[in-house]
Chain A
Amino acid sequence: MSELSVNHLLGIKYLKESDIQLIFETADHFKEVINRSIKKVPSLRDITIANIFFENSTRTKLSFELAEKRLSADVLNFSASQSSVKKGETLIDTVNNILSMKVDMVVMRHPNPGAGIFLAKHVKASIINAGDGAHEHPTQALLDSFSIREKLGDVAGKNVVIVGDILHSRVALSNIFALKLQGANVKVCGPKTLIPKYVESLGVGVEMDLKKALEWCDVANMLRIQNERLDISYFPTTREYTQQFGVNKRLLDSLDKEIVIMHPGPINRGVEITSDVADSKQSIILNQVENGVAVRMAVIYLLASKIKQ
């Protein structure tokens, strides 16, 4: 069987299409495992993984931790707010100290783009990027594509629109890379101020009119408005944003087809999507969460298999 072409998961940009297929096939098997009454396998019983989160996270951290525990790995959890980083320690020193405790793999979230790449160059451990600033969030993109594949049978040839704050979104960038690599057609939609100028160079179309974007697409991936990253005013008011770029049931019902609604979470209910859309049959938001564990198990398993004894 083929193996991953990379030793770290730093971004979708560094993966080949065959890597994504291998991850999905492995995740299929893990999805079967996590639906058993006993959801644990002993594969990684001699592997120790450190989850290092320099930024707040609930679902990604829980999802990684659950994936690691279901593979029987030993897990260390570390968050920057309780650490010596506050005392001035550098990133490399922090990680090297953790690695001295015989840690094999590091799952890291960091506010600075490229932090994972920097770390991979300087430490001997397998690094998984769990989100680095506005750069990439590869496991989210993988689970999003996996969920589309599960719902629609394939990703290739499907029309996907990513709606919202594209400028600050690592989810959007990783999704664009992943979807394009698998042969999907991608458009972005959102306030002009939140669409990066380079986006068309990635082979992505821009659609300013949400209704037109929804009429075109098979899947709409609704991004969260990241208030914490909006240091200046990119749109007049949240209310106006919702009126122009929020999806409600009336809008969905006005389309002549049924599209799939996705959201990476956490949802600002009533802003990006209304509650009746989030909880509707067209929404696969909870499937995304379930698939997140299976996909992360697959990524960890495949990377761990490259750490030879």
Chain B
Amino acid sequence: MGQKVLLSSKEINIILHRLACQLLENHEDFKDTVLIGIQPRGIYVAERLVKILLEEYKVKHIDLGFLDITFYRDDFRRGEKTLEATKTKINFLVEDKKVVLIDDVLYTGRSINAALTALQSFGRPREVELLTLIDRRFSRHLPIQPNYRGRQVDAIDNEKVKVMWEENDGEDIIYLINR
């Protein structure tokens, strides 16, 4: 099993700042916008972006939620193991809001499809955008594309993108692993 570094800590930091600026351009004071990190790994990207926006770009307030999509997935009963649920924490209404869904890796698009279904349980957003740190193009099963992407990667099916975060794994680094 070989692995190569796709993005270093410094590159991840630059990309996160760029993504934060792009969000700022489109959503200004975030009054009508809410950010929702998709569990389990999208929440790290979402938390980092919120931190940059609040601390470095002095946005006053951002609503951030975490969305678990386990019960909305279309692969229930297809895998070897029972799907493990994580916490949903959305303490605000998404009704008539601009929602930015945030995930670490966009691969087949099925997780985002499930997230769009799950989001309907919290109201009818005015519009939904997608932000993803890594976009594995050519791997999509569904017609889903991100509005904001950190890095586009051409990875084949037996390669895996592994995103590691300092708070969880000790360092910020993204590997491309050949399984």
Question: A residues engaging B (CB < 8 A)?
Answer: 1-4, 25-26, 29, 32-33, 36-38, 40-44, 46, 71, 301-302, 304-309
Contacts and interface: CB of A to CB of B under 8 A. Distances in A.
Nearest to B79: A305
Main secondary structure of the interface of B (DSSP, over half): loop
In the A-B complex, list the 7 residue pairs whose CB atoms are closest, starting with the nearest.
A1-B84, A41-B71, A38-B121, A29-B85, A305-B82, A3-B82, A43-B71
A42 B117 contact: yes
A1 B83 contact: yes
Interface string B85-104: 11110000000000000000
18 contacts: A1-B81, A3-B82, A4-B82, A25-B85, A29-B87, A32-B88, A36-B121, A37-B122, A38-B121, A41-B71, A41-B121, A42-B72, A71-B71, A301-B71, A304-B77, A305-B83, A308-B77, A309-B78
A44 B76 CA distance: 8
Given A1-B82, A304-B77, A37 B87 contact: no
A294 to B, nearest CB: 12
A44 B71 CA distance: 9
Given A33-B71, A33-B121, 12 more contacts: A1-B84, A3-B82, A33-B88, A36-B122, A38-B121, A38-B122, A41-B72, A41-B118, A305-B77, A308-B77, A308-B78, A309-B78
Contacts of B117: 42
Nearest to A25: B85
A38 B72 CA distance: 13
B85 A26 contact: yes
Contacts of A44: 76
Contacts, number: 59
Nearest to B121: A38
Contacts of B152: none
A104 to B, nearest CB: 10
Nearest to B86: A29
Interface in B57-82: 68, 70-73, 76-78, 81-82
Q: Which of B68, B78, B85 has the most CB of A within 10 A?
A: B85
Contacts of B70: 29
A44 B118 CA distance: 14
B76 A305 contact: yes
A302 B82 contact: yes
Nearest to B93: A37
A3 B120 CA distance: 29
Nearest to B73: A43
Nearest to A71: B71
Interface of B: 68, 70-73, 76-78, 81-88, 117-118, 120-123
A23 B16 CA distance: 38
Contacts of A308: 77-78
A44 B70 CA distance: 12
Nearest to B95: A37
B43 to A, nearest CB: 16
Contacts of A25: 85
Given A304-B77, A305-B76, A305-B77, A42 B83 contact: no
Contacts of B82: 1-4, 302, 305-306
A284 to B, nearest CB: 23
A37 B119 CA distance: 12
Contact of B76 (A1, A2, A3, A43): A43
Contacts of A40: 121
Contacts of A46: 77
Contacts of A42: 71-72, 117
Contact of B77 (A26, A38, A307): A307
B83 A37 contact: no
Contacts of B88: 29, 32-33
Nearest to B122: A36
Given A43-B76, A305-B82, A308-B77, A38 B120 contact: yes
A207 B113 CA distance: 57
A154 B123 CA distance: 34
A245 B22 CA distance: 69
